Amino acid sequence: GCPGMWDNITCWKPASVGEIVFVKCPALFRFIISEDGWEVDNLGQTHAGDYDLLESTAQSPLGDISRNCTEDGWSEPFPHYYDACGFDENETESDNQDYYYLSVKALYTVGYSTSLVSLTTAMVILCRFRKLHCTRNFIHMNLFVSFILRAISVFIKDGVLYAEQDGNHCFISTVECKAVMVFFHYCVMSNYFWLFIEGLYLFTLLVETFFPERRYFYWYTIIGWGTPTICVTVWAVLRLHFDDTGCWDMNDNTALWWVIKGPVVGSIMINFVLFIGIIVILVQKLQSPDIGGNESSIYL
C-alpha cells in the first residue's frame, strides 16, 4: 500500500491500504524558541518514530498526528503539526533550531579535535621515554587510547550517519552504519572501563602491601578491553534478532540498551565507592601518629 516515509518532520512506517497510522509529536517539538532563549515544552513526550499502527478509524488523541493509507498513497497529516504539536514548518523557528544543533555539533567537534591532538602528543611522550615506562603510566596510556578511539568513533559516526542531510534517516539500515554504531558504543564503553581501572589501581595500590603490578596489569587489560567487547557483542546480537530497525542509532528498546548502559552505570558507581574508600584510607594515614612530615605531605 504505502511505503515508509520521512516527511522532513517525523517517520511514518509502511502501511496497507485502509490503515491509519498514528505518530506522537516528535521530541523536536519540546524545544520552543522564546524571547528568553530555549525553553522546554511538555507537548512532545516521546522520540520520533514511536508510532502505533491502528486499523480503527478512531479520532487521534491530543498530541498525535495521523495519516490514512489510501489507494492514491498517503493522505495529508491530521490534525496539522501546528495544531497537534504547536509547530509551524513555515515559521523561522526550524532554521533557528538547525542553527542551534549545528552550533552544538561544531562545539563538540572542536572539543574532540583538541582532545585528540593533546592525547596523541601525550602518547608520543610516554612511548618515547623509557624512564616513563611503568604500570601506572601503562594504565594511563590505555586510558588515553580509549579517549582517542572515542573521539575517532564520533567523527566516523557523524560522517556516516549525517553525510547526506536530505537522506531518509528513518529507514537507513546498512551494515556499514550498524558496524559504525557498534564501534562507537565499544569505544565509549571501554573509555568508562579504563576510568574504572584507574580508580581500581589506585585503591589496590593503597590497600595491598605487596603489589604484583605485572599480574594485576594483565587482569586490568582484560577488564578494560575485554568486558566492553563482550557487552557490545551481546548487544549487537540482541539488536540483530529482536530490534533490527534503522541504523541502530536509536535506543527505544530500554531492555536491550541496558546491556550497555548497565555495566557503564555499574562501573561509575563502583568507582565512586572506590573514591570514597581512597579518601578514607588517606585520611587515616594522615591522622596516624607514625607518619612523619615528608610522608604526611605525600599523602596530603
Tell me whether residue 86 is in a domain: yes
Tell me whether residue 13 is in a domain: yes
Biggest alpha carbon distance in the chain? Answer: 88
Tell me whether residue 295 is in a domain: no
Tell me whether residue 291 is in a domain: no
For 20, residues 6+ apart whose C-beta sits below 8 A from its C-beta are 54, 55, 56, 57, 66, 67, 68, 69
Bridge partners of residue 33, in order along the sequence: 38
Q: What's the pLDDT at 171?
A: 64
Tens place of pLDDT per residue across the chain (300 aa) = 888 887 777 788 888 988 988 887 766 665 543 333 433 333 333 333 343 433 333 343 447 888 999 888 899 888 877 777 765 555 545 566 678 878 888 999 999 999 999 999 999 999 998 888 888 899 999 999 999 999 999 999 988 887 765 555 666 778 888 999 999 999 999 999 999 999 999 898 888 767 677 778 889 999 999 999 999 999 999 999 988 877 888 887 888 999 999 999 999 999 999 999 999 988 887 887 777 666 667 767
Give the type of residue at 97: Q
Q: Do 155 and 260 fall within a single domain?
A: yes
Tell me whether residue 83 is in a domain: yes
Q: Do 203 and 281 fall within a single domain?
A: yes
CA nearest to 200, candidates 300, 278, 262, 146: 278
CA distance 278 to 276: 5
Q: What's the pLDDT at 98?
A: 72
CATH of the domain at 72: 4.10.1240.10
Using the 8-state DSSP alphabet, how is residue 78 labeled?
B
CA distance 174 to 154: 18
Q: For residue 155, what are the domain limits?
A: 148-286
Q: Do 175 and 282 fall within a single domain?
A: yes
Q: Do 171 and 281 fall within a single domain?
A: yes
Q: Do 274 and 171 fall within a single domain?
A: yes
Q: Do 201 and 271 fall within a single domain?
A: yes
Beta sheet of 73-74, edge-to-edge order: 51-54, 20-24, 64-70, 73-74
How many structural domains are present in the chain? 2
Tell me whether residue 53 is in a domain: no
Q: Is the peptide bond before 79 cis (omega within 30 degrees of 0)?
A: yes
Tell me whether residue 136 is in a domain: no
Q: What's the pLDDT at 267?
A: 95
Bridge partners of residue 198, in order along the sequence: none
Q: Do 79 and 207 fall within a single domain?
A: no
CATH of the domain at 207: 1.20.1070.10
Tell me whether residue 48 is in a domain: no
Give the predicted TM-score (pTM) of the model.
0.71
